[in-house]
Amino acid sequence: MTNNRSIECGGDFGDFVTLGEMDILWLTDPRKFPGYSLILPSVSIANIGQLAVDILIFSLPTEQIAVVHHSALLPIAGCGAYNDTDSGLTTSADLHVCHELKLLILQIRAPTAKGKRQEFVEALNKFIQDVLPSSETSIVWVLAGCQAANRGDAQLSGRPLRFYHLPQISDLTNLIKLRSLGPPALEEFINDRGEMEPFLPGAGLTKKLLDSCSLPCIALLMFVDEGENTVDAMTLASYCHAAVSESKPDDVTKMKWRVPPSWKNMFGAPAPSSIFL
């Protein structure tokens, strides 16, 4: 079902290029994807967006096509996230493609350095403009969490999933499809200046990404708290997948997601029974 490809240490590293301020290690061609859409997480509370992206990458027929880095991203390196049997390398950000659904999926694992948020968002937008040439069908989907403890009164009951977008894209086909799946739009509240705006506590770069993106951009958000949020991540992945595919509303809860092997140590080993009386 999957065709994930890792970077092999000591092997052929592909072509390294600098695109704007982004450093890209391309592992394959082509490098432009007209008509494709992009899914990426905002590093946010409970890492819910990143968990959902992990699920999509591991469960869909994807292939890693690039390693992405920017000086604003904190550097990380680790074992392969989607294959625990070889010497694959995981870094701060990597790009995958799913040709079946015409999707690019950018996993971002690291937060930005202090004071570097806007710099990273601007560089990311230039990268998106290059790999996704202008197309009526291209959309950027941002997956993120919002702090459940900061919900307004109107948000305390019902489904903890919301979507948010700028008003000028309200007639998009994918947005109409998303509405038919049932999640409500994110409520707006009056700010200190007397203006209506979304309240996105804990959602990281979500608002900056939507305000800056050159393509239509939709955020899918879950109200969560820190803790074991794998079920929430699967819900977020299910609605995102349904919005970008031919799925029907009844199919949303029927997706059979695969758990990446990197999740097995996410919460550590169980507490030893000897500590209990």
DSSP string, 60-95: SS-EEEEEEE-TTBPP-EEE-SS-TTS-EEEESEEE
> What integer pLDDT is reported at residue 122 of this predicted model?
93
Going from the C-alpha of 173 to that of each of 139, 177, 206, 237, the distances in angstroms are: 10, 6, 22, 19
More confident site: 179 or 87: 179
Q: What is the mean pLDDT of residues 93-115?
A: 95
94 exposed, middle or buried (CB, 10 Å; 0-12, 13-18, 19+)? buried
> What integer pLDDT is reported at residue 11 of this predicted model?
38
Q: How confident is the model at residue 88 (pLDDT cuts 50, 70, 90)?
A: confident
Contact 106, 40 (CB under 8 A): yes
Q: How confident is the model at residue 270 (pLDDT cuts 50, 70, 90)?
A: low
Class for the domain spanning 32-61+95-107+114-261: alpha beta
User: Which of 174, 28, 42 lies closest to 109 in space, CA to CA?
Assistant: 42
Q: With 60 as the cut, is the pLDDT of residue 7 above it?
A: no
> What integer pLDDT is reported at residue 10 of this predicted model?
33
User: Which of 19, 273, 260 lies closest to 123 in space, CA to CA?
Assistant: 19
| Model pTM score | 0.87
pLDDT in tens, 114-156: 999 999 999 999 999 999 987 778 999 999 999 998 888 778 8
pLDDT in tens, 23-75: 999 998 889 999 999 999 999 999 999 999 999 999 999 999 999 999 999 99
User: Which of 36, 16, 34 lies closest to 26 in space, CA to CA?
Assistant: 16
Sheet holding 7-8, edge to edge: 7-8, 88-91, 77-79
pLDDT in tens, 227-255: 888 999 999 999 999 999 887 777 787 78
Q: What is the mean pLDDT of residues 157-164?
A: 87
Contact 267, 47 (CB under 8 A): no
pLDDT in tens, 182-234: 888 888 888 888 888 888 999 999 999 999 898 999 999 999 999 888 999 99
